[in-house]
Amino acid sequence: MTFADILADLNEWHFFQEFVYSKNTFRPASPQTEVELADNVLWLGNILFAFQLKEREATPNTTDAIERKWFEKKILDQATRQIRDTLRYLEENPTISLKNHRGHERQLELKSISQLHKLVVYLPSQQLPSDCLAKKYHESKTAGVIHIVPAHDYLGIVRTLLTPAELADYFDFREGLIEVWGAKVNEVPEPALVGQFLEGDSSKPPSLDFLAQLKALDHRADEWDMSGVISKFPDKVTTENEPTDYYPIVTELALLKRNELREFKARFQLSIDKSRADEFTRPYRIAIPRTDCGFVFIPLTKELFPHRRNALLNMTLAHKYDQRLSKCIGIAIGNHEQGWFNAEWCYANAPWAYDAEMDTLLAANNPFRAVKVGELPRYTYKHPPRS
C-alpha cells in the first residue's frame, strides 16, 4: 500500500467515503492532455482540502545534506508548485468532474468553496534535519499559506479533532497563527499548536504551555459520535431518484462539530426512547446558525406511524420557517415491532421567505417547544487544562 493509499484510507475512515477523492485526473479545456487536480481531495459542502503527498524512499548511506536537498526540492519546490497548479486548474475550469470513494461522480466548482485548505503532507526519512522537520508552512505570492505537515503530525491532528468541521477550523486557526506569528510556529511541535487551537486564542505566541490543553482533552465520543448513522446511509436509504440524493443530509451532519453533534445525538436518542415507549411528545429540535441549518426530531407513536411522511414534511417546513433558516432536516423515528427503530429523513433547502399561511398556522397551533439560545462549550476536559 502506498503512502497516498494510506492517507486516503485515513481520511475515509474519519471523514466517510462520500467526501474523499484519491483518483483525481481530469481533462481540462486546455490543454487537452489529462492532468491531476491533486493527490488527494477532501471535499464536503463549501470546504475543500487539497493534498499533495510526498514520500522519501529509503536511501542507503544518506546524509543530513542529502535529506535537506530532498526536502527543499520535493517539498518546498515541487509540492508547493503542484498546489499552485491545483489552484490554477480550479480557477480555469468552471467544473471539474471527480469520482469519490463511493464511486459517485461529482462536479466540483470553485465558486461553491468558501474554505480552501492547501496541504503538503509528507513521509520523511529518519535522517531529515530537525529544522526541516519543524517547518510548518510555505508562503506563496499566488497561493498564500501552504501548510506543510509530516505524516505523523497529520495523523495526530486527525485522531484528535475527529470531525471534518474541526479539521477545517484547525487549519484556519493554524493559518491565522502563521500570519500573526510567522516563523515562531516552527519553534514548537505540532501538538502544541493543536493545544492552542483547543484553547482558541491566537493572540498569544505559540508555546509548549499549550500542550496542557491537549493532554487534558476528554473526547467523550459516545456522547456525540454519529458516524454509525452516517456510514449506514447508503445501505439504508431507498430512493427512486439519484443514488446521491442522501448527500445533502450526510453533508450537513458531517459539517457539525462535536458540541453540535452532542445536541443532535441527545435529541435523536430521546426520540428513539419516546417512540419505543409509545409515548406522545412534541418534536425536539435544534438550529445551527453557523451552517444556517435546523434539525427537527419527531418521535412517532404507533397511532402516528402511518401518517409519518406527512408529519415529517410538515414539521420540517414548519421548523425551517419558524427559525428563518435556509436549510432544515427532519427525522421521523418510529419503533419497529422487532425492537429496531425506523428513521425517515427529509431535507428542505430554499431561501427563507415570508409565508402568511405558515405564519397563521404557527400562531394558532405551534407544535414546538420554545427554542433556547445558548453558546455550547467547544471541548470537554478531564480536568482544568492549566492552573
Please, how many CA atoms are within 13 Å of residue 46, restricted to the half-sphere of its CB?
9
Closest CA to 171 of 82, 47, 19, 41: 47
What is the tens place of the pLDDT at every residue in 305-318?
889 999 999 999 99
What is the tens place of the pLDDT at every residue in 24-72?
888 886 666 889 999 999 999 999 999 999 999 888 889 999 999 999 9
Question: Is residue 16's pLDDT more than 50?
Answer: yes
Task: Starting at the earlier edge strand, list the strands of the sheet with 293-300.
Answer: 284-288, 293-300, 327-335, 341-349
Q: What is the pLDDT of residue 331?
A: 95
Closest CA to 261 of 379, 159, 157: 379
C-alpha cell at 13: 475512515
For 291-314, give the DSSP string: TTEEEEEEEE-TTTGGGHHHHHHH
Average pLDDT taken over every residue of the chain: 91
Question: Is residue 233's pLDDT more than 80?
Answer: no
Closest CA to 89 of 137, 44, 45, 25: 25
Q: Which residues contact 10 (CB under 8 A, 6 or more apart)?
A: 155, 158
End-to-end CA distance of the chain: 45
Question: Is residue 239's pLDDT more than 60?
Answer: no
CA 115 to chain centre: 11
Query: Where do we find the cell 438550529?
Result: 287
Q: How far apart are CA 190 and CA 57, in angstroms?
A: 24
Q: What is the pLDDT of residue 374?
A: 79
3-state secondary structure of 261: helix
Please, how many CA atoms are within 13 Å of residue 307, restricted to the half-sphere of its CB?
7
C-alpha cell at 265: 445525538
The region of weakest confidence among 6-15, 42-51, 230-239 is 230-239
What is the tens place of the pLDDT at every residue in 269-314?
999 999 999 999 999 999 999 999 999 999 999 999 889 999 999 9
Domain ranges of the chain: 3-216, 223-364
Q: What is the pLDDT of residue 226?
A: 87
What is the tens place of the pLDDT at every residue in 243-256?
788 899 999 999 99
CA 285 to chain centre: 22
Query: Where do we find the cell 436509504?
Result: 237
Q: What is the pLDDT of residue 240?
A: 61
C-alpha cell at 372: 433556547
What global pTM score does this model have? 0.92
User: Which carries the bigger pLDDT value, residue 387 or residue 102?
Assistant: 102
**What are the phi and psi torsion angles at 38 (to 5°)?**
-165, 165
Question: Is residue 199's pLDDT more than 90?
Answer: yes
Query: Where do we find the cell 497561493?
Result: 143
Share of the chain above pLDDT 90, in %: 76
C-alpha cell at 376: 455550547
Question: Is residue 141's pLDDT more than 70?
Answer: yes
Mean pLDDT of 315-332: 97
Question: Is residue 337's pLDDT more than 80?
Answer: no
Is the backbone of residue 162 left (phi > 0), alpha (psi -120 to 50) or beta?
Answer: left
What is the tens place of the pLDDT at every residue in 254-268?
999 999 999 999 999
Q: How far apart are CA 280 and CA 274, in angstroms?
A: 7
Q: Which residues contact 238 (CB under 8 A, 6 or more apart)?
A: none
Question: Is residue 200's pLDDT more than 50?
Answer: yes
3-state secondary structure of 317: helix
Q: Alpha-carbon torsion 374, 377, 382, 385, what sign?
A: negative
Beta-bridge partner residues of 120: 52, 148
What is the tens place of the pLDDT at every residue in 360-372?
999 999 999 888 8
Q: How far apart are CA 107 and CA 97, in angstroms?
A: 5
Beta-bridge partner residues of 96: 108
